[in-house]
Structure 1
């Protein structure tokens, strides 16, 4: 059934208001009509069959003691009806986009069957070409996850043709990857290698480069070659993937990659993709902030515990090391390892102390300049001084103090500089000691500003 035309809706509203006002004034249609209009004309207006002219509205309203605007629909109602009529296609397009997005989320959550149900509700004839591509891509992906491989292969082939027609390089690459994984799931590893090789060939000529996706493709290629018992080729693929991954040393480097990809897509006016990678960058940045907050809490709590009862400190450290949240958070684990090293140092168990300090340094290194990273170097420096390995200790002290200076941690820098200066003074290195006493004084001055 076709929707009622907008003028008809407005006319019906005018007719309803006119009839209500006439009845309220105890007028018959004949009394209201005479002498300018016929009864049938008034009846037709009230039934919404015709829309009166503005002049007729003024005359009728005057007889009822109203203004003509009081018989018109409310402006907001009229605008809502008009906007509803005009924006229907746009609203429908938004609903399509939301349905596609929900399906994408279902797949990523491991709910492939729900994604298939969601996508099956959409009529592909009503989708724009870009939406059709997105629909076939997501449906093929969902079929793969639901182990419906034949359907997945057919759907992804359709998606691949659409991606070529629309010159959609981003989805073209992802569809080739899914197609290869579908072939591999059907144990057709030769065909899987061909699809992934086509993917790699395209990646060489596409900007921006996505190292995460590229490493994933090489990893899958290694798996295919392994299944075919071509171990030499498999090792080559795995080594290539590793070399890409190793360049992404730490969350900050990954965040920078996401940001650069986002900027490249923005420059190319691919705003949807630019937004997606910007959100990835923002999410990672938020996670890093949370990681730093959690690790700093462990850092300050550990300091407080270490200044109290030794047995209580030991109990705290043992409990912290067993917490799953600490085990997952390498920066928090680095903080606990530092305090562990300090605890063993106070017990003069230098080998165990050094083992924990080295672990802390390794864990903290991936995060770049951090308060915990600086403390890891300084703690290791103290342990090396206790071992009388002064040259190694000096390197770690200097590295840690410079890190604190770059971070603007003036209070910690002042305290640690004094302690290092005292150690240097005990070794008879008065000139070097003076340098760090002065650094401590300067840091205290900055702290007061």
Structure 2
């Protein structure tokens, strides 16, 4: 049924409940034939006529428009607000439950905008809980609907990000390029730059460094032109990743320091914590001697992530980076603690990140002389990496695994891991 059909049916239903004829409802402002046409769905009443009919029928305008009373509408909006608050406060499972319960409310069916808000919120909550396939499914359904231009960009950003987190890089790139790669690309906005930054990271992890470098420069120019915090943070964060891959460590730190400075002044708590983790990880790679500073940054980020709507993957990454810092410092017991926590938090779809957690655990156990535990973790690395598609990230983890196997005396395993690393790198 069309919207006009539904509105007409509601008017007819309430009129009959009130014991009124069409002529009685119409008099004196309208004709009974006009009311008949409205009730049959052949005419769409103007807002003024609809408000008049609501007054005559002693019902809310909301009911005639959407099929819900003003009280029901208030309850739905309140429930949606509580769900969003739970997500923002880091109560991600509570948020998922609240969004799902609201989506099951039959009164939401006729409220397209609120239903789409609820579906999008549920998708973000599913992502935060590590249920990435479910989040992809929800976002895919939303993508097929008629949504506002801003919401369409938000959906594309989230879908591109979740595909990237799931190591489905070609699908992440397809989503990003569908918006950014066409001849009718929209003008740059904060959302467009954020989508571009997510696409850029997918280029990088897929090993397409040439395209990543070119696109990083375009994004930086767009962000500088906009001058908004959100755009500048997104562009500089991902430009840092690309600069490091080109061997420009100090330049990459400068990009990320700029992003962190702006995030500290204006950013959301979750985004600030995630930026801290990225900065600490980069700092450790560029300046491995700065262990104490890096550890302090990561511990602060860990506390911040626990109090926000951070996904389990965000929290897991913080633990993995803490494990890396402790391995480098020789604090192997602490490394095992953080590595195990990170591994437990990983969603089942986080293949490359899961492999990285097992690799660090292997190195920590090796440092403690627990060879059998180290070998067990290396076997887990193989199990996670083997089914993954070739990418720059996977190649790097195979290479690190090969080095670890060599240290543990597994010459054959080391050679095979080096071979897999070269194959992933296209060599």
Report the TM-score when normalising by structure 1.
0.44
- Structure exhibiting the larger radius of gyration computed from Cα positions: 1
Q: Between the two structures, name the one with larger relative contact order (CA 8 Å, sep ≥ 6).
A: 2
